[in-house]
Structure 1
Amino acid sequence: MTTPLLIVGAGEFADIAYEYFTYDSDYDVVGFAVEAAFREGDTHCGLPLIDLETVEDHFDPLEVKAHVAVTNTQLNRVRERLVGVMREKGYGLANYISSHAFVWRTAELGENVFIFENNVVQHGVKIGDGVVLWSGNHIGHQTEIGEFCFLSSHVVVSGYCKIGRRCFVGVNASFADNIEIGEDCFVGLATVVNKSFKEPGQLLTGHPAEPSRVSTYRYFKLKN
């Protein structure tokens, strides 16, 4: 028996989420929702496209679950905000875990998590709400991935690491054991993080990683 699912978003990630939920989960996608200012048309992927502001009038939160399929826009703040909106409206939040991912039984997952194919999530890992693990990452044992982080492809996170809330980690970045980085950090592609950077809002690049003089708050024009 399938569970009806509403996807929040109508961009590239929402299209991917529709494909993956439809063909590799026990959910049945029944519609899409976006904020009224961004809605273009009345359908998406052949399904109803509804204003987020009034979505509960069309899809009963007691019967339909939701998944916010938004990437790392505004350093993951948009996904975080929309998850909050759906919770306030009373929707339960669905996870997608690829049937081709390896998630060990002792791993703890939050809500609205999306884990693509070929991820390895080892013993004792904790993954917060709203985390996206794109394809092919390794998350080492007892590591903690903070809420609303976005890890792109082929990232290696060794054991006992702690990645703060809303961080973005680029393709092929790697972390040594026992590394901690603060919230709102941006780790560039192929960056090698071999020591901790606990201050929030750091933009890290290089081998080994070094912080930029410009914070992520300034770079992305965000309020910290």
Structure 2
Amino acid sequence: MEKIIIIGAGGHAKTVVDTIERGHCFEIAGFLAEGRVGERVYKNYTILGADNIAKTIFSMGISKACMAIGFMGKSSIREKLCCQYKKMGFDFPAIIDPSAIVASDVMIGEGTYIGRCVVVNANSSIGDFCILNTGCIVEHECKVGKYSHVSIGAVICGQSVIGERTFIGANATVIQCLTIGNDCIVGAGTVVIRNIEERKTMVGNPAKEIRE
């Protein structure tokens, strides 16, 4: 079985490891993250080192990687790391939990993670390096842009478009046929009933903008 490294060692990384184990798709080599080398992070998996040893890992024949860092206030952090690793030659397969229900015609980009009990319905497309977290629903004919994160229990209703690097909080709802721009944050429990322009932070029911 081909080996894969896990980038990051937080809570989301542990969830990703569980998905990979249950899917029997890769052998986990360990974590690349800040911390003490050899430190046990989850089960018997340990920290191999930080990002500065990635080239050494690649030279050892481990070319598969999984970006397992969750949303850290802005998705550009994950995007920067992904670009660095891709330049080294790493390949990022999509990781899909065995419990997820994904329509056969859904387009899924590289490096995307689809978690437990997620539903993605017909004619939808999910961009590169997205996170669809536990129990979220992406309905028919939706588009989720690259590096975006749809959190636990969120619902994206049919024919809606989520821009790039956008975060949809836990249990948020986006009603049908809406567009949310790039680099937006939609807070937990928010109900979106109108289109949202780029770089907006929205909360509440109905969604209202928070201005800095």
Q: What TM-score comes out, normalization by structure 2 length?
A: 0.92
- Could you list the per-position Cα deviations for residues 51-72 of structure 1 after superposition, in whole angstroms to 9, with x for gaps in the alignment? 3223222333864300010010
**3-state SS in 2 of match to 1:58:** helix
Aligned AA (2:26)? Y
Partner of 2:207: 209
1:30 to partner: Cα distance: 0.9
Moved more, 66-75 or 42-51: 42-51
1:138 to partner: Cα distance: 1.1
- In 2, Cα distance between equivalents of 1:21 and 1:55: 20
1:19 to partner: Cα distance: 2.4
- In 1, Cα distance between equivalents of 2:118 and 2:148: 15
Which structure 2 residues correspond to residues 1-224 of structure 1 after superposition, within 5 A? 2-34=1-33, 38-45=34-41, 46-47=45-46, 49-60=48-59, 63-197=62-196, 199-214=197-212
- In 2, Cα distance between equivalents of 1:124 and 1:60: 39
Structure 2 unmatched ranges of 5 or more:
none
1:48 to partner: Cα distance: 5.0
Question: Would the aligned equivalents of 1:122 and 1:142 in 2 still touch at CA under 8 Å?
Answer: yes
Aligned AA (1:201)? R
**3-state SS in 1 of match to 2:81:** helix
**3-state SS in 2 of match to 1:66:** strand
**3-state SS in 1 of match to 2:58:** coil
- In 2, Cα distance between equivalents of 1:14 and 1:26: 16
Aligned AA (2:210)? S
**3-state SS in 2 of match to 1:207:** coil
CA, structure 1 residues 195+95, in 2 after alignment: closer, same or farther (shift >3 Å)?
same
Moved more, 49-58 or 145-154: 49-58
Aligned AA (2:198)? P
**3-state SS in 2 of match to 1:32:** strand
Moved more, 22-31 or 138-147: 22-31
Aligned AA (2:205)? H
1:7 to partner: Cα distance: 0.7
Question: Would the aligned equivalents of 1:176 and 1:194 in 2 still touch at CA under 8 Å?
Answer: yes
Question: Would the aligned equivalents of 2:130 and 2:148 in 1 still touch at CA under 8 Å?
Answer: yes
Pairwise CA RMSD: 1.7
CA, structure 1 residues 125+61, in 2 after alignment: closer, same or farther (shift >3 Å)?
farther
Moved more, 162-171 or 60-69: 60-69
Residues matched between the structures, number:
209
Question: Would the aligned equivalents of 2:4 and 2:65 in 1 still touch at CA under 8 Å?
Answer: yes
Moved more, 152-161 or 18-27: 18-27
Structure 1 unmatched ranges of 5 or more:
215-224
- Could you list the per-position Cα deviations for residues 136-166 of structure 1 after superposition, in whole angstroms to 9, with x for gaps in the alignment? 1111111110111111111111111111111
Question: Would the aligned equivalents of 2:159 and 2:176 in 1 still touch at CA under 8 Å?
Answer: yes
- In 2, Cα distance between equivalents of 1:149 and 1:13: 15
- In 1, Cα distance between equivalents of 2:194 and 2:18: 39
- In 2, Cα distance between equivalents of 1:53 and 1:59: 11
Q: What TM-score comes out, normalization by structure 1 length?
A: 0.87
Aligned AA (1:195)? R
